[in-house]
Every structure is written in structure tokens, then in C-alpha cells.
Amino acid sequence: MAGPVGEAEAGSVRIRVDGVEYPVREDLTLLQALDGLGLLNVPEGVEIPHYCWHPHLAIDGSCRLCQVELTRPGDEQARLAIACDAKVCEGLVVDTKSEAVARAREGVMELLLANHPLDCPICDQAGECRLQDHAFDYGVAASRMREPRRAARKRVDLGPTVALDQERCILCRRCVRFCREVTGTGELGVVERGDRSAIETFPGQALDNPYSMNVADICPVGALTTKDFRFKARVWSLDEVDGICTACARGCNVSIGVARGRVQRYVARRNDAVNGSWICDEGRLSYQQIDAPDRLSSCLARDETGELCPVSLDEAVREAARRLRPLLDERGPGVVAGVASGHASNEDVRAFKTFLDVLDVDTIGLALREGAADELLVSAEKAANAAGARAVGFGPIEGLLERLRGGGLDALLVLGHDLLEGDVESPALDAAELEGLDTVIVFDTHRSPLERVAHLVFPVRHAAEKEGSYTNLDGVVQRPSRAVRPAPGVRDERDFLDRIGVALGLAGYGMDRTA
Amino acid sequence: MVIDDALRARIESEMRSFPEPRGALLGALHRVQEELGCVSSEAARELSEIFAVFPVEVLELVRFYNFFSEEPRGRHQVTVCTNLPCALVGANDLLCGIEGHLGIAVGETTPDGRIHLGREECLGACANGPMMRIGGDYHEDLDLAAACAVLDALE
Ligand code: SF4
Ligand code: SF4
Ligand code: FES
């Protein structure tokens, strides 16, 4: 396995796991090595159950579930050891299936379950709970406990985003380590001792940081739940689709949870090349925009009185051509400009660029909303595909704005409405500055103040509703799957542009496309 | 500021005698408990600043050990060990009896502020249980009458 760029390649050793030999890097622990080989707990891989170990957190060794039998060269007999903290070495022999391993796992599970409430029917984690899974796979069905189970606080309000059920907690300390190591905010700790141990915050301090909800993702049981998703859906009724967050240029990987045709949540999906195991809270909640009440669902055009009203697709396309054709014929492509958006997919910005090229429009630019960045993931550019738009030729917007303000433009084709937002502090443009234009055609997902000046609006799809690829700030091209169906009439930018191209009779559009 | 300059200076000088300054945190908690009668959340926060740790890390220690309390307790801290060896020789009955004698439950303080009663983990006096600790003193081989006599003699 190649190490991260810039890191010296460590030596390689051979280990034998359940009879199969693997070359691994010598500076790793057994779990890290198997994880690096992509073998850990995948079908046909090596199964080592674990709670406290997490690939992106420091080793804790607290749950003891990952025990396996190890024999190092020179050992007379195999011994049980925790795989998360066992360094590999040349000739290490690992047995994950022995009788002793099975008994060790069973013992750990019995102790963990001794005080665990029988909450599964009302627990949000049920169905994706590692305690449930492992109890089923490695545990014993009957409890030997005659004492009453420990009673603890069932609904602790940890902060604005997350709730804690202390009874369900198995004290793996993943959440504690996350807050100390990843966000550096250190809100959580384990107080008390023995069976009274519990996760707590300092008096008067809340779990409140821009990445707080990741603790619910990494909690292996139902102890930590996001208030956003609490009691919203049973997870086994969710379809999980591989998607990306589109709220900034990082393009963090998410699992999109879909039920009843609607997106119910995003949870972080691991991608070591993009976001590790984390996503920011703002991005996590950005799924709410998909079904927001201000989504556009129909083409809009001005009626006789000047009101923007729903029209059919054909009418809208015809109207676009009716407006553009005379402008192009009489005043030439120089009076037309195209504004791309970092929200459109690579396929859509490419289609837009081709469309503008065929029209001979060369006043083009990329409108982008900028905001705060942080050192972890959040990038200043608040769109998923700014790099992709730049790659097809959409550069800074300033030249276009200058031309507009100098009165040199009559028509504008605009993807999205970031044009009005620019930098949150100083918007690129006030919608009023577009008031004098002959023709403003907007392709957007959501309503915006652009409506005041738009003559035509085409409703486009959110990334979760379409096929397309997005290039993140590091140049990683990602192709999320479609998670939900868009409302009827909501289409891709490229689809609308194709139709308008046909209506304008442009070369390369419609029937003569193959020519 | 609840930790005054003199106490702070003592804590900081103890920090210098540890290779890892935070090794002095447990000792500092003892100083604070002795001098201020408890480790209030203000004191814990100030300690977290002195030691450059998260406040909740101080809370973890305060709540882990019986020696520390978050509010002032009675004048005398009385704790009875109830771990296994003491439990086998009647520590739980003794504790019940003391509760009755004082008219308070474990974890409470007598209304006159004289005695705070607590439960204790093993103090290493297993051969002489049941036992109780009052401040720094051990009282061993107790029965209820002997324990009550000791308690009644406290001012
Ligand atoms: S709340 Fe969850 S993540 Fe945190 S220690 Fe408990 S089980 Fe682990
Ligand atoms: S960092 Fe950016 S891409 Fe990642 S979750 Fe947050 S907003 Fe979304
Ligand atoms: S995963 Fe190894 S001890 Fe928890």
C-alpha cells in the first residue's frame, strides 16, 4: 500500500492471517494494515469486529472486542491480543477464527450487554447498530444477569445538534476522541467510574462545533443521535445512495438516505482522498435544500402584464429562441454574455460552454459565492464544481461585470444565482443592475432575487437528482449516483440548452447533431 | 478567580517537578479541595487553563475520585468502604446503620453541616474491615456502636 504523498515508504513485512499471506507496511497495527489492504470487514475479507478503533482516530484499546490470536516468531504458543493495538512484524501469524477468539468475543459482548437497555424497538440506531450486529454474530442470546440493569439518563441534551442516551453508551470513547483530536474543541469526557461511567460535558458547556454531528455517525450504538434525524425514519426503510455534498468545493462523500422518494439525511461516507470520515454540519444539513419550498418546479416566462408565470417546456424554449434570435442577428453575439455556476455538473458546464461557443459568445465568467473556510474541510468556495467550470474555460467574472456596467450587454444567460451573492460581504452584483437588459435567461434550482429581472427561468436538477460529475478543489472528479427523482419538468441544464439550440437552428444541435 | 495567587504559585511550582506538567493535576486538585473545600466548576475551569487541558478533562478526574467534591460538603468527610472484602464482613449493614444514626442517606450532609457521608472504594485496609475514613484517619474493625461513638465525638 502506498503511503500518503511525501511520507517515506516504510519497510514491508509479511504476515499470515487465517492462512493467507499478505505483505504489509511494518509501521502499522494489524487493524490498520488490514484496513489499508481494503480487507477489513468486507465480504471475502478478514472479519475482526471492533467498536473503539476508528481509522481516523487515535487508538484507544478500550472495547476489547477486536481480540485475535497472535503468534510472533519465537512464541511458544498463540496469545490473545487486541488487533487495534498490535504492531505487525515479519512472520506474524494471526488467527481470527479460533475457539479462544470466539470465547473472548462472547465474553466482551456479554459484559457490554449486561447493562444495555432493551431499547431496540425505539432506538434510532436499530438496523445499523454494531451492538445489535455483533451480539447477533458473536454473543449469547440469554443474559445471566439477575441484578437490575443500570439506569441512567435517557435524553441528555448535549448541545444544539446532538442528544445522548447514557444507558445505550458502551464507552468506546470515539466521540470523546473526535472532539479532542479532530475538532480540537474537547467538549466531551467520561465521568464517574465503573458501571456509573457516562459521557458528559463540562457544566455549562455544550457540544457545539461546526462538525458536531459526526459523533452520531461514529457512535457504534444508538447513544448519540442527531436531533435532525431523531425518530424520522427507521434505517431499514432507507435506501442508501452514494452521493456527495455540494455545499462547498470539498465535495465530501455522503450516504444519501432516501425514504418515500425524498432525501431524509446525509451521513458521512468515508473517502480518504477527499474527506476522510467526516463532513461538516452545514453540509450535512444541506440536504434540506433539495426539498426546500423555494425549489423551482416549472419553466417561467413573463406574461402580457409582465408577471413571471409557469409555462410549458415548449413555450419556454420557443420564447428563449424568439428573444435571442433577433438580438444575435441584429446586434451580434458581442451583446450576449454567459455566466456559469459552480453548482452545475461538468457535463452541464461543458454543454453551456459549447452552446456559447457555437453562438460565438465570448463574454463569459464564473459566478461563485464565497464564505468562510476552515482548516479541516470547509472551503471558501460554496459550490461543488467551481474547478470543473474553470476547467472548461469559465474564468473570473470581473470582465463580464465591467462590460455589463459599461452598457455593452443586452442579454445574459445565467446558471444559478451566485451572481447576486458573490462574496457574502460584497455581492458581485445587485439584481437592479440587470434591470435594463433586453433578455435575462436563468437556469436554476431555487427561486432567487434574479426573478425580478429574469425574462425566462428554467428549473434545473439538484446533484442528488441527476447523473453528473463534479471536480473538487483538489481536482478529484466524483460521479455521485442519482438518489431521488426530480419533480416532473425539472431537467438538466444541458437538456434545456440542447432544446434551445435546436429552436435557434444552431449547427450541431438536434437532428443534424450526428453530422 | 477562585484560585488565588498563592495557591496558583504552589500549583505551578509543583508542575515544574513533573516531566509532563499535567502530572501535577491530581495533586493540584487535592490542594484546591483542601483549601477551598471543593473543586467548584470555576476552580475546575481555572485549573484547566493553568494546565492547558480541556475543562472536561478536569471534570473527569473530579468525578472519578471520591476525594473531590463539586460543592462544599460538611465539616467532616466520612466514607465507608463497601468494596468486596469489607462488604463480606458487613460494610453495607454498617453503612445502613450509620445512615439511620445520622438521619441522612449516602451522599448527603447532616442539616447542621457537621458530617457528609459517602461510600468509598478500597482503601487497602481489607484485613480490618469494616472500616471508615474520616478525613485522613482510618477507623477499622468497626461495628455500628463503635462507629456511632466515633461519629458522635466529632464536633
Ligand atoms: S456515546 Fe457512543 S461514541 Fe460516545 S462513548 Fe458512548 S458508545 Fe462510544
Ligand atoms: S466541507 Fe464542504 S463539501 Fe464537506 S460537508 Fe461541509 S460543505 Fe459539504
Ligand atoms: S477495537 Fe481494539 S480494543 Fe476496541
Q: How far apart are CA A248 and CA A236, in angstroms?
A: 30
A215 lies within 8 A of chain B by CB? no
Listed residues B43, B64, B85: the one ending a domain: B64
Put simply, the answer to whether B57 touches A204 (Cβ < 8 Å) is: no
Residues B80 and B148 in one domain: yes
In a domain, B69, yes or no: no
Put simply, the answer to whether A186 touches B63 (Cβ < 8 Å) is: no
Question: Ligand 2: distance of its center to the CA of A378 in Å?
Answer: 5
Q: For testing the chain B interface, which of A166, A202, A215 should be mutated: the one with the most B CBs within 10 Å?
A: A202
C-alpha distances out from residue A105 to A46, A62, A80, Å: 15, 14, 11
In a domain, B70, yes or no: no
A253 beta partners: A244
Residues B134 and B90 in one domain: yes
Q: Domain holding B99: CATH number? A: 3.40.30.10
Q: What is the pLDDT of residues A96-127, one digit of tens each?
A: 999 999 999 999 998 888 888 878 888 888 88
Residues B138 and B92 in one domain: yes
Q: How far apart are CA A512 and CA B153, in angstroms?
A: 107
Which atom of ligand 1 is the closest one to the Cα of A188? 4
How many domains, in total, are found in chain B? 2
In a domain, B125, yes or no: yes
Q: Say if CB A34 and CB A45 are below 8 A apart.
A: yes
Let me know if A381 is exposed, middle or buried by CB neighbors in 10 A (0-12, 13-18, 19+).
buried
In a domain, B127, yes or no: yes
Q: How far apart are CA B154 and CA B113, in angstroms?
A: 12
Q: Which residue in A has a C-alpha nearest to residue B61's C-alpha?
A: A191
Q: Which residue in B has a C-alpha nearest to residue A189's C-alpha?
A: B56
Whole-number average pLDDT of chain A: 92
Give residue for cell 478567580.
B1
Listed residues B19, B40, B64: the one ending a domain: B64
Backbone angles phi, psi at A370, to 5 degrees: -115, 150
SS3 sequence of A447-460: CCHHHHCCCEEEEE
Q: Domain holding B46: CATH number? A: 1.10.10
Residues B147 and B81 in one domain: yes
Q: Residue B52, Cβ neighbours under 10 Å: how many?
A: 8
Domains of chain A: 12-110 (3.10.20.740), 147-232 (3.30.70.20), 299-504 (3.40.50.740)
Walk along chain B (155 residues) and give the pLDDT tens digit of each residue: 899 999 999 999 999 999 999 999 999 999 999 999 999 999 999 999 999 999 999 999 999 998 899 998 889 999 999 999 999 999 999 999 999 999 999 999 999 999 999 998 899 999 999 999 998 899 999 999 999 999 999 98
Q: How far apart are CA A127 and CA A103, in angstroms?
A: 25
Considering only CA atoms, which of B145, B45, B123, B43 is closest in space to residue B77? B123
C-alpha distances out from residue A466 to A241, A312, A320, A463, A487, Å: 12, 21, 24, 6, 12
pTM: 0.91
Q: Across the interface, which of B45, B56, B121 has its CB nearest the CB of A201?
A: B56
In a domain, B31, yes or no: yes
Residues B90 and B38 in one domain: no
Q: Which residue in B has a C-alpha nearest to residue A193's C-alpha?
A: B64
Q: Measured over all CA atoms, what is the biggest interatomic distance in chain A, rounded to whole angstroms? A: 93
Is the dihedral angle over the CA atoms A346, A352, A356, A358 positive or is it negative? positive
Q: What is the pLDDT of residues A134-148, one digit of tens each?
A: 888 887 767 777 777
Q: Say if CB A313 and CB A499 are below 8 A apart.
A: yes
Residues B146 and B80 in one domain: yes
Residues B60 and B82 in one domain: no
Residues B49 and B99 in one domain: no
Q: How many CA atoms lie within 13 A of A376 on its CB side?
A: 20
In a domain, B71, yes or no: no
Q: What confidence score (pLDDT) does residue A114 get?
A: 81
Q: Which domain holds residue B16?
A: 5-64
Q: What confidence score (pLDDT) does residue A175 get?
A: 98
Q: How far apart are CA A22 and CA A13, in angstroms?
A: 8
Put simply, the answer to whether B59 touches A200 (Cβ < 8 Å) is: yes
Q: Residue B123, Cβ neighbours under 10 Å: how many?
A: 17
The C-alpha cell that represents A193 in the structure block: 467510574
Q: How far apart are CA B82 and CA A124, in angstroms?
A: 38
Give residue for cell 484496513.
A35
Residues B83 and B147 in one domain: yes
| Average pLDDT over every residue of A202-223 | 96
Q: What is the pLDDT of residues A29-49, one digit of tens each?
A: 999 999 999 999 999 999 999
Q: How far apart are CA B87 and CA B110, in angstroms?
A: 24
Listed residues B16, B42, B64: the one ending a domain: B64
Q: Quote ipTM for the complex.
A: 0.86
The C-alpha cell that represents A52 in the structure block: 473503539
What residues of chain B lie within 8 A of the CB of A184, using their CB?
none
Residues ≥6 apart with Cβ < 8 Å to B81: B91, B120, B121, B122, B123, B125, B129, B130, B131, B132, B133
Residues B104 and B40 in one domain: no
Residues B103 and B124 in one domain: yes
In a domain, B137, yes or no: yes
Residue A85: DSSP 8-state: G
Q: Say if CB A152 and CB A167 are below 8 A apart.
A: yes
Is the dihedral angle over the CA atoms A507, A348, A488, A449 positive or is it negative? negative
Q: Of the residues A379, A385, A462, A478, which should be mutated to test ligand 2's pocket, given the most ligand atoms within 8 Å of the CB?
A: A379
Residues B46 and B91 in one domain: no
In a domain, B99, yes or no: yes
